[in-house]
Structure 1
Amino acid sequence: MSRNQTKKDASTSTRRAIINLLKQQGGMDVMALSSQFELSGMAIRQHLNALKEEGLVTHEEEARPMGRPTKLWTLTPAADRFFPSGYSELSVSLIHSMKEAFGNEGLDKPLAVRNKNMQEQYLHFIGDASGIREKLERLADIRTSEGYMAEVKDQDDGSLLFIEKHCPICEAAAVCSGLCKNELQLFNTVLGKDVHIERVEYILGGGRNCIYKVSGKLL
Structure 2
Amino acid sequence: MRQNQNKKDASMNTRRAIINLLKEHAGMDVVALSDHFSLNGMAIRQHLNALQEEGLVTYEEEARPMGRPTKLWKLTPAADRFFSSGYSDLSLSLIHSMKEAFGSEGMDKLLAVRNKKMQKQYLNYIGDTSVTRERLEKLAEIRTNEGYMAEIKQEEDGCFLFIEKHCPICEAAATCAGLCKNELQLFHQVLGNDVTVERVEYILSGGRSCVYRVQKMATKNQSTNPNISPYI
TM-score between both structures, scaled by the size of structure 2: 0.91
Determine the C-alpha separation between the residues in 2 that align with 1:7 and 1:155: 43
Query: What are the Cα deviations for residues 114-169 of structure 1, in whole angstroms up to 9, with x where unaligned?
Result: 10110000000000223100000000000000000000001011101000000000
Percent identical: 76
Determine the C-alpha separation between the residues in 2 that align with 1:155 and 1:205: 23
Per mean C-alpha deviation after superposition, the further-off stretch among 203-212 and 106-115 is 106-115
Aligned partners of 2:87 and 2:171 also within 8 Å: no
Question: Is 1:16 aligned with 2:42?
Answer: no
Q: Secondary structure at the match of 1:212?
A: strand
Question: Is 1:142 aligned with 2:142?
Answer: yes
Per mean C-alpha deviation after superposition, the further-off stretch among 190-199 and 93-102 is 93-102
Aligned residue for 2:50?
A: 50
Determine the C-alpha separation between the residues in 2 that align with 1:88 and 1:161: 30
TM-score between both structures, scaled by the size of structure 1: 0.97
Per mean C-alpha deviation after superposition, the further-off stretch among 85-94 and 158-167 is 85-94
Aligned residue for 1:212?
A: 212
User: Match of 1:69, as an amino acid?
Assistant: P
Please report how far the alpha carbon of residue 64 of structure 1 lies from its aligned counterpart in structure 2 after TM superposition.
1.3
Q: Secondary structure at the match of 1:198?
A: strand
Please report how far the alpha carbon of residue 202 of structure 1 lies from its aligned counterpart in structure 2 after TM superposition.
0.2
Please report how far the alpha carbon of residue 65 of structure 1 lies from its aligned counterpart in structure 2 after TM superposition.
1.9
Please report how far the alpha carbon of residue 87 of structure 1 lies from its aligned counterpart in structure 2 after TM superposition.
2.6
Per mean C-alpha deviation after superposition, the further-off stretch among 133-142 and 121-130 is 121-130
Please report how far the alpha carbon of residue 90 of structure 1 lies from its aligned counterpart in structure 2 after TM superposition.
2.1
Q: Which runs of 5+ in 2 are unaligned?
A: 218-232
Determine the C-alpha separation between the residues in 2 that align with 1:9 and 1:113: 46
Please report how far the alpha carbon of residue 31 of structure 1 lies from its aligned counterpart in structure 2 after TM superposition.
0.5
User: Match of 1:7, as an amino acid?
Assistant: K
Q: Tell me: higher relative CO, structure 1 or 2? Use CA pairs within 8 A at least 6 residues apart.
A: 1
Q: Which runs of 5+ in 1 are unaligned?
A: none
Please report how far the alpha carbon of residue 185 of structure 1 lies from its aligned counterpart in structure 2 after TM superposition.
0.3
Where do residues 107-186 of structure 1 align in structure 2 (5 Å cutoff)? 107-186=107-186
Question: Is 1:41 aligned with 2:18?
Answer: no
RMSD of the TM alignment (CA)? 1.3
Name segments (4+ residues, structure 1) moved above 6 Å.
none
